[in-house]
A and B are shown apart, each in its own frame.
Chain A
Amino acid sequence: MSSGKHLKGVHVNHSKNTAGMPIIPMPVPERVYIPMSMHIGAPCQPVVAKGDHVKVGQLIGDCDKPVSAPIHSSVSGDVESIEQFMTQNGRVDTNIVIKTDGKQEIAETVVPPVINSREDFIKAVRASGLVGLGGASFPMSIKYNTKPGQVDTLILNGAECEPYITVDHAAMLAYAQDMVDGMRTIMKWLDIPRGIIGIESNKPDAIAKFNEILAGSTDISVCTLRQVYPQGAERVIIYECTGRHLIAGKLPADVGCIVSNVTSVLKLQQFLTTGMPLTTKFLTVDGNIVAKPQNVEVPIGTMICDLIEHCGGLTGEVKKILLGGPMMGRAIPRDDFAILKSNNAVLCFDEKFAAQRKETACINCGRCVAGCPMNLMPARLSRAFKDKDIDALREYNVMSCMDCGCCAYSCPARKQLNFEIKQAKTLVMEDDKKKKAKAEAAAAKEAAKAAEAEAAKAAAEAKEGGNK
């Protein structure tokens, strides 16, 4: 598919300790804590009250703003309270605390949706509560609501390039047929002629499985990706599968692509056939101090401490807990946060793995440049950020950075380049906002002036007319 050229990246240690382990459902915990903001966009408002009885799949939070996704209960039980506290995003959010009854009764509203048109399909996608499960948590109904004819390729992202995480791999092995069916459904309703499944070459069994299912079909093909981090990043997988460049500030639909994570499509297919919205999440629990590393299916809202306990607890003193992979995952300061829709791994490490070596001076070796998939110059960006030189940051294209962390990973001086570039991006965005506000104020002033002149002119004319 691709033109033979590849985007740059880094070779990381895969450490896929849980490879080949099936996804085992976790028993429901005593309580779940479901926050109202699990997606990019406007937070939901609770539609249940304290004391209400809820069932699995029942709508408990919704919002009438366009960019949002409804939230469903992952357990059956009673709403114990609706509280405000900090979630794993670092924001204070409304949380619905549900005490489970262990019966896991399924709500009456869980019936397969009837779809007759494209609009019905988009509505069904929204009702499923799905967001991008790869980690971006962008509402799927917005992603799929493209202009007719704009998109010609649906890319299924099964790269899973982050070390440690194996849960997408396990899901691909277990549900390959459902994923292909899901792809065909999406392609049918959105009128997309071509489907590509991108899988990194370190998962030959998954590639063989899809090839077996797709034998003889022409609409969907499998694209084997190289074992280079970050193949799973949206811009990289689009380039590797289609040869198209997605530049900063554009959406995949602008280059005729939709990229969906394998589990997103699987969950959508399951919703369309059973009517069960997104209530559970597949997770890899791993790390050098987890007693029993494994892939688990977890009800959304489960506390991370409960999850770790389910996996046999910890064998050492925890120093760092990561949500997501070690390259782009987010560290959390405590373990009493709830699992959200966008999580795909919980990794726990002790002092040995968490220790950070001392930062030294940049030696201009250029390894960060050699590793950057977006062809940026991280060392230059870091210097421009330190000087607060916004013009230079723009010139060096800082907004193209996708926070993959290749620069910091390859830096022999252990500089936290990705962190600095992230800050630099906020600096540029703030400056953009300021400039926009200034321009708007100037335009408003100009308009007021023009209106005043107009009024004066009209008054003068009226006076003249009166004199006549």
Chain B
Amino acid sequence: MSGYVIPVVMTVVIAFIASALLTLAAKFMSVPVDETAVAIRNQLPGANCGACGFAGCDDYAAALAADPDGVKTNLCVPGADGVAAAIAAILGQEALDVIEQVANVRCSGDCNATKTEMDYQGLKTCAAVKNFFGGPGACKYGCIGFGDCERACPYGAIQVCNGLARVNREVCVGCGMCASVCPQKIIDIIADVKRVHVGCNSADKGKDTTKACSAGCIGCKLCEKECKFDAIHVINNHAVIDPDKCKNCGLCAKKCPKKVIHVFPKPNVKPFVKVDEAAS
């Protein structure tokens, strides 16, 4: 029996000493934590997408806590208005509106539209094939379709269908990860309220574009003449819309002979022309 007493007593004594040391260490060596930063961090979505311009959510939270007046509270695009309001509440500021953004692919050339020039056997990533004659497609400006954007998207909002990257605008939060990896630089991050977009990026002349792809802008300038707000211009052989001037009227899209100007319907509103009817 006595054999147990000494070890038990020793262990208890050591435990007490250790706990005392730990308590003291925790008191004297503690790193001050900014409670505000922790609170803000808890509100952020944690996607670490970098859309705010900081290196991840922790960095943004720390920057906000350190400089509440200098750093804006509405920079978190994925979090949208809800997060911006929560952050503003924590910092005791007035809530700012977040401009919802969305990715848009400036290409309409899927496998049916764009001609294929080669049977590519190499590494199937856009970045790799970009250095190999600009990709297997005949058009050297459009979507390559090996899905670098799809792999980069943390939300599964962009997918390659039939050789063309397409954005699900319901899911996309506009973080811009896809745009940063696209070697063709054809993904724009634009305000969600803009609904008219040109789906072509070809800098070739109209004749060459038509040779390569049936869904390419030929630079005919009909859209330019049709626009009442001076918002669309043919620059570098394809139409480009100035988002500040565009009023979403969609007249250019109706006039476009190649149907490369797309009008996305308003969310929760039935499209004016049914898609099926338009197709048939």
Using a CB–CB cutoff of 8 Å, the interface residues on chain A facing chain B are 86, 90, 319, 331-334, 354, 356, 416, 419-420, 422-423, 426
Contact = CB atoms under 8 A, between A and B. Distances in A.
Given A90-B133, A333-B133, A416-B123, A423 B128 contact: yes
Given A416-B122, A419-B122, A420-B123, 14 more contacts: A90-B131, A90-B134, A331-B121, A332-B133, A333-B118, A333-B133, A333-B136, A334-B117, A354-B121, A356-B121, A416-B123, A419-B123, A419-B128, A423-B127
A416 B136 CA distance: 18
B125 interface: yes
A333 B117 contact: yes
Given A416-B123, A419-B122, A419-B123, A86 B133 contact: yes
Nearest to A423: B128
3 closest A-B pairs by beta carbon, nearest first, are A333-B118, A419-B123, A90-B133
8 contacts: A90-B132, A90-B133, A90-B134, A333-B133, A356-B121, A419-B128, A420-B123, A426-B127
* Interface residues of chain A: helix, strand, loop or mixed (majority): mixed
* Interface residues of chain B: helix, strand, loop or mixed (majority): loop
A319 B136 CA distance: 14
Nearest to B120: A333
Nearest to A334: B117
A397 B107 CA distance: 38
A389 to B, nearest CB: 15
Contacts of A90: 131-134
A61 to B, nearest CB: 23
Interface size class for chain B?
10 to 19
A422 B129 CA distance: 12
A333 B119 CA distance: 8
Contacts, number: 27
Contacts of A356: 121
Contacts of A332: 133
B164 to A, nearest CB: 21
A86 B119 CA distance: 18
Nearest to A422: B128
B176 to A, nearest CB: 17
Interface in B107-149: 117-119, 121-123, 125, 127-128, 131-134, 136
A156 to B, nearest CB: 32
A368 B64 CA distance: 49
B114 to A, nearest CB: 14
Nearest to B121: A356
> Which of B123, B125, B127, B134 has the most chain A CB within a 10 Å cutoff?
B123
Contacts of A426: 127
Contacts of A331: 121
B153 to A, nearest CB: 15
A423 B125 contact: yes
Contacts of A86: 133
A319 B120 CA distance: 11
Contacts of B128: 419, 422-423
Contacts of A423: 123, 125, 127-128
A352 to B, nearest CB: 14
A38 B155 CA distance: 45
Nearest to A356: B121
Nearest to B138: A333
A416 B122 CA distance: 7
Nearest to A430: B127
Contacts of B127: 423, 426
A335 to B, nearest CB: 12
Nearest to B130: A90
Nearest to A417: B123
A90 B128 CA distance: 13
B178 to A, nearest CB: 15
Contacts of B119: 319
A333 B134 CA distance: 11
A434 B234 CA distance: 33
B89 to A, nearest CB: 34
A284 to B, nearest CB: 23
Nearest to B131: A90
B173 to A, nearest CB: 22
B211 to A, nearest CB: 13
